[in-house]
Amino acid sequence: MTAAAPADAGALRARTRDLLAAHPPADTDRTDFLRARFDAGLAWVHYPEGLGGLGAPRALQSVVDDGLAAAGAPDNDPRRIGIGLGMAAPTLLAHGSDEVRRRFLRPLWVGEEVWCQLFSEPGAGSDLAALATRAVRDGDDWIVTGQKVWTSSAHTARWAILIARSDPGLPKHRGLTYFVCDMTAPGVDVRPLRQLTGEAEFNEVFLSGVRIPDRHRLGAVGAGWQVARTTLMNERVSIGGRRLPREGGMIAPAARTWRERPELRTHALHQRLLTLWVEAEAARLAGERLRQQLAAGVPGPEGSAMKLFFARLNQEISALEVELRGPEGLLYDDWTLRRPELVDFTGRDAGYRYLRAKGNSIEGGTSEVLLNIVAERVLGLPSEPRDDKDIAWKDLAR
């Protein structure tokens, strides 16, 4: 396929066959194969040529994925690099310079570099725009100082997407600037946060005079909120709009327990399971619809609705499974202070799922904030009164 050739399904199948012929999966190093796939434009087919894509319709990605899966080709372990794929990459593409996109997108997609997200702060969680981390210009660099919290994968990440306050004299949404931060730079201190499950999958991150080159800025100075919205909309889709098979996700272990443990059944639990099974299937189909919409454009507020529903559904399913199992429901055999690289909801015990699902209504935007987004941007309801929109951040009460 040349730059002028039509990017249709047939052309993509031919390009996929050419990739497999030149790099047989059984005889090619995994990383080398993934690099070759990216260079062939078959990583994200809707991205531009030279950046892992071919400028093809997003809906045609499944043509490539299905052909490679049938040939036994390796994937890029998307769960391990989910923050990079779901949040950093679309933000880099939309707001990064050519230099930034060419430097970061290939190793991000291949999985050679893990990413994390430095957004939330101890005093600015739900109200992200109230963040206090400061970025001060110093010639061709920025000096960043502050604290971030609830940062998943910071202990394994090489790079981070970071939003900081560059002008405290402006209202809170207008004085922000967005950067790519080197997690190995002097002044970056990552400390584990132990959570309800007994693990430390996320962290607090202290930034003490961290130097970031201006070339690693995304978007204009002061336009960090607009850039962050790109990240947040994609984040909510990546959390709540994942592709699942029928009876996939959290409903799968609950249904399996029901089938395998008849002695645990009651009529009331059966009715609840049926209701949640139907809701899980409705959510799965809504996710398919959302992905079809994404194929024609960029994420909108609908992703917030999906993430909101996903959080509630996960919590209700995991609570049902604990009740179904009775006294053994809260037990799990790997309660320990671990530093996992990723969250595994379905490969763990019921007790872990129940405890970990509590975080679903906080991470990726609290349910309360998402309800406001759905009310205002989907239903067209009046926004909540706000008396701090036009006040300089430095003058706000904290």
Distance between CA 255 and CA 396 in Å, rounded? 50
Catalytic residue among 235, 302, 316, 321: 235
Q: How many CB atoms lie within 10 A of CB 136?
A: 13
Kindly report the backbone phi and psi dihedral angles of residue 67, in degrees, each rounded to the nearest multiple of 5, phi listed first: -65, -40
| DSSP conformational letter for 88 | I
Please, which contacts does 120-123 make with residues 24 or more away whose CB atoms are closer than 8 Å?
Answer: 120/148, 120/149, 120/150, 120/151, 121/146, 121/147, 121/148, 121/149, 122/147, 122/149, 123/398
Kindly report the backbone phi and psi dihedral angles of residue 192, in degrees, each rounded to the nearest multiple of 5, phi listed first: -70, 145
Is 235 assigned a catalytic role? yes
Q: How many CB atoms lie within 10 A of CB 327?
A: 6
* The pair of three-digit structure tokens given for residue 46, joined into one six-digit string: 């809707």
The secondary structure of 315-331, three-state, reads HHHHHHHHHHHHHHCCC
| Total count of residues recorded for the chain | 398
Query: Catalytic residues, which ones?
Result: 235
